[in-house]
Amino acid sequence: MTKKQKKVLIRIIVAAILLVILHFVPLEGLWLGLLYLIPYAVIGYDILRKAVLGIMHGEVFDENFLMAVATVGAMGLGEYSEGVAVMLFYQIGELFQAVAVGKSRQNISALMDIRPDYANIEAEDGSLEQVDPDDVEIGTIIVVRPGEKVPIDGVVVEGTSTLNTSALTGESVPREITVDQDVISGCVNLTGLLKIRTTKEFGESTVSKILDLVENSSMKKSKSENFITKFARYYTPAVCYSALALAILPPVINLIMGNPAAWSTWIIRALTFLVISCPCALGLATPVAIMVGNGMGAKNGILFKTAVSLEEAGKIQIVALDKTGTITKGEPQVTDMVPAKGISEEELLGYAYALEKKSEHPLAKAIIARAEEKKIVLQKVSDFQALPGNGLRAALNSEVLTGGNMKFISNETSVSPELMKQAEKLAGEGKTPLLFAKGGKLLGMIAVADVIKEDSPQAIKELQNMGIRVVMLTGDNERTAKAIGAQAGVDDVIAGVLPDGKESVIRSLKEQGKVAMVGDGINDAPALTRADIGIAIGAGTDVAIDAADVVLMKSRLSDVPAAIRLSRATLRNIHENLFWAFFYNVIGIPLAAGVWIPIFGWTLNPMFGAAAMSLSSFCVVTNALRLNLFKVHDASRDKKIKQNVTENKSLKAENPDFCNSEIHDPKDQENIKENKENKEMTTITVNVTGMMCGHCEAHVTKAVKEAFGVEDVVSSHEKGTTVIHAPEKLDEDKIREVIKEAGYEVTGITQE
């Protein structure tokens, strides 16, 4: 409890004690009323003050006004105990609400603790000076001691340590960190002293982005909340005018009919009507559930940018997943090692390490990482050569060491049919086989691929069990894409999609249902923005936080169904709260108005009306707090949503020509079809050597597009070609020059 809440609790206790004591005081009339003003003032002075201020500012019709009118009216009619009791029950309900809401904020408040207070800069004499993080420029060396927060994103230049990232990612296991590794602000340094070169200003750092996101998450109201706000705008004045009519019309009608007016009876009923019609429960139904849902998300590393995104995420029908970095780890890894006879895996890896260490190719990094992991001793090579389209060559101990694709190594040494078949099998699985030879003798084969994350297949299965169709988008060739898609278990695979083409795919998918796009980087930003809900995997990328509606801090795909599951639970909780609030009013308002008196003889005292009103708020808040017990990763109760579109309706079925080309961007596909229909279009087939994987294809395609301003370009490392559709013949010398600058060689060009 806060100090303010404790003060309210003390006031409640004092007022309750005084109310009990006064019940036994043998006084009547004005003197008794004056005594009852003491507990009334103790418990209700703040409500009366708010009501007066509301009237002065033109905001008359709110719960404070209703409570003030009801209690003052009861006191004026001599119902002193009822007037005090109504205010007492109302304050009890408000206190419970405040405590519950405060509790629901704890998870978010814990996240806000990541805000750094200072940054350490080392002075010339070696002492540390504490400065405001806002004053630190990019490239500055800052010092983070054990126990301190990392204030700004950067790269470690000195020291090793372990970082507590739980506030950002929810991960309890500390992360090992050493030189040349990136660190993000908001983490806590646990062990060693670190020197970090800043790569961003504080305002652009992860911690600032996250804090802005959290602080502004409640600025935009959800659809349910907007509806209740609009409803309350008309509901509260209607209640007030209805209460006034209830107090005046029946007595007047009684007088006209020659009966006693019974003014006090009907005024009491009108006051009870005001009390029980107070829209507290209705107003709490949505915001408390949203707040608890946001808190549960923050606790589990799932940050919803707005209340709208929390509410709408559960309505998703189609999830589009970027492949690289989302389904897969985003970095090529060694998957298979097939040493030749008489060669051990360690020897094969050692020779490959020596050769690939001098290469800048993405596939080389995978082999280097595996060798360093196995602590292989690096052998020094000389006369290193990168042979575009083939592989690598170097000298090791007076012998020639080579590595590369099957075609290249087959010319260097003999390769058995069994190994060739195995290489084809690996290629069919989306892997890139690299062969190595030394002194004309085959050493073996190492397969490299961007492997899928451990939790990806399960996450995709969970999405499908929720009735959600899963589509994978990738710029890879169709063969590799289908292999990864089969491993992951997605419903549809759309390959050959360039970064700027993902947005077009999302646009097409939105015609079939409500779409969520899941991505991890700059290339996915247009698609994240275009989708109904953009979900960014990965903590700390500026574009992810800016473009997405939901940010998954733990960088794992299993949090996508968790976010949707939490959204559905929150939306269900809101509906339960609204039902209870409306049900309570449907029963209570007629009872307070005396509708049931002629039938059942039922009536309602203002005190019991206030108790019922507080109980309604209690039930709504308690139900919202149940979300704190919700297990976001428990898939046992998942249910399929009702789809407004045909399930498993693929883009391929919708457009038979969609997958006839390696380019599957709808915009590019449309261009291809138009070009084919235009007889004046020129088809340029360029034979290119040096392309070994999807990265190479994308590199060549991009270079050609930028150089010639054409959109219809298809590269294939398997065919060794780049096919260009242009309105006229292109300069062949320029084509050769462009592709050579990209790092590849042209062996032939035909233009038709």
Q: What's the CA gap between 44 and 38, in Å, rounded?
A: 10
Tokens of 340: 């030749």
Q: What's the CA gap between 268 and 309, in Å, rounded?
A: 45
- Cα distance between the two ends of the chain: 80
Q: What's the CA gap between 624 and 626, in Å, rounded?
A: 5
**What are φ and ψ of residue 338, in 5° steps?**
-125, 85
**What are φ and ψ of residue 149, in 5° steps?**
-85, 145
Q: What's the CA gap between 404 and 413, in Å, rounded?
A: 12
Tokens of 15: 């007022």
Q: What's the CA gap between 293 and 313, in Å, rounded?
A: 12
- Cβ within 8 Å of residue 512, ≥6 positions away: 317, 318, 645, 646, 649
Annotated active-site positions, please? 322
170: left (phi over 0), alpha (psi -120 to 50) or beta: left
Half-sphere exposure of residue 231: CA atoms within 13 angstroms, side-chain side = 14
Most distant pair of Cα atoms in the chain: their distance: 125
Give helix 559-593 / helix 606-625 axis angle, nearest 10°: 170
Q: What's the CA gap between 361 and 41, in Å, rounded?
A: 78
Q: What's the CA gap between 186 and 253, in Å, rounded?
A: 70
**Alpha-helix residue ranges (DSSP H) falling in 386-446:** 406-412, 417-428
For 559-620, the three-class secondary structure string (H helix, E strand, C coil) is HHHHHHHHHHHHHHHHHHHHHHHHHHHHHHHHHHHCCCHHHHCCCCCHHHHHHHHHHHHHHH
Report the Cα 251 to chain-centroid distance in Å.
59
**589-603: burial string, b at 16+ Cβ within 10 Å, e else:** bebbbbeeeeeeeeb
Indicate the length of the chain as a whole number: 752
Half-sphere exposure of residue 96: CA atoms within 13 angstroms, side-chain side = 22
- CA distances, 460 to each of 181, 310, 453, 647 (Å): 31, 20, 11, 16
Q: Do the Cβ atoms of 189 and 163 come closer than 8 Å?
A: yes
